[in-house]
Chain A
Amino acid sequence: QKEVEQNSGPLSVPEGAIASLNCTYSDRGSQSFFWYRQYSGKSPELIMFIYSNGDKEDGRFTAQLNKASQYVSLLIRDSQPSDSATYLCAVRATGANNLFFGTGTRLTVIP
């Protein structure tokens, strides 16, 4: 079982819609969760992090965490073509500083 699992997609949504990206993790002791956006040929860019159960909002982005279900999600409201990228879910290893990454979900926002 992989530490972090994501649906690889591709996920296509029309411009202006809500894009929903999901991630599950296996280490029940994990406390820190991250979402990175990676454009083709570029490096990962941190867009959200969440440590507590519930929702965390930042502009058009909302991260949701449910530790009991070992589930993290990212919602992108009013999706724009510039949001088209691969979104990587990452979980910090318990008691360490390294991150386990999912394989990423490729999102395409159709104008």
Chain B
Amino acid sequence: KAGVTQTPRYLIKTRGQQVTLSCSPISGHRSVSWYQQTPGQGLQFLFEYFSETQRNKGNFPGRFSGRQFSNSRSEMNVSTLELGDSALYLCASSLERNSPLHFGNGTRLTVT
């Protein structure tokens, strides 16, 4: 069974631009969560989607948004990029909301 697939793997953007990251969960998994990983803050929760609805949101500004489609695929958008948004963005899927999370390979975003 294929794992969680994230695209693209690497992105370089400049300040003020916006970016969209994509995530395809493991087949049959209905919950998709997004995390940001930085050397200083570690892994921090962004948001979770289940049945196309945002169920939970972390402590990030409104520039960070996401959505989930009917096939459980998810996208995350960051607008008006700042240098501090440079990070590894990880998508994780789980079978149900209380199941273990499985992470994708991540998208490494660099903002210059």
Contacts and interface: CB of A to CB of B under 8 A. Distances in A.
Interface of A: 32, 34, 36, 42-46, 49, 88, 90, 92, 96-104
A57 to B, nearest CB: 17
A97 B100 contact: no
Interface range for B = 20 to 34
A101 B43 contact: yes
A44 B56 contact: no
B104 A43 contact: yes
Nearest to A97: B97
A96 to B, nearest CB: 5
Interface string B27-51: 0000101000000001111001010
Given A32-B98, A42-B105, A97 B56 contact: yes
Interface of B: 31, 33, 42-45, 48, 50, 55-56, 58, 88, 90, 94, 97-98, 100-106
Contact of A88 (B43, B56, B58, B102): B43
A96 B54 CA distance: 12
Nearest to A92: B98
B43 to A, nearest CB: 4
Given A97-B48, A98-B48, A49 B100 contact: yes
A46 B101 contact: yes
Nearest to B88: A43
11 contacts: A32-B98, A34-B100, A43-B88, A43-B90, A44-B90, A97-B31, A97-B97, A97-B98, A98-B45, A98-B56, A101-B44
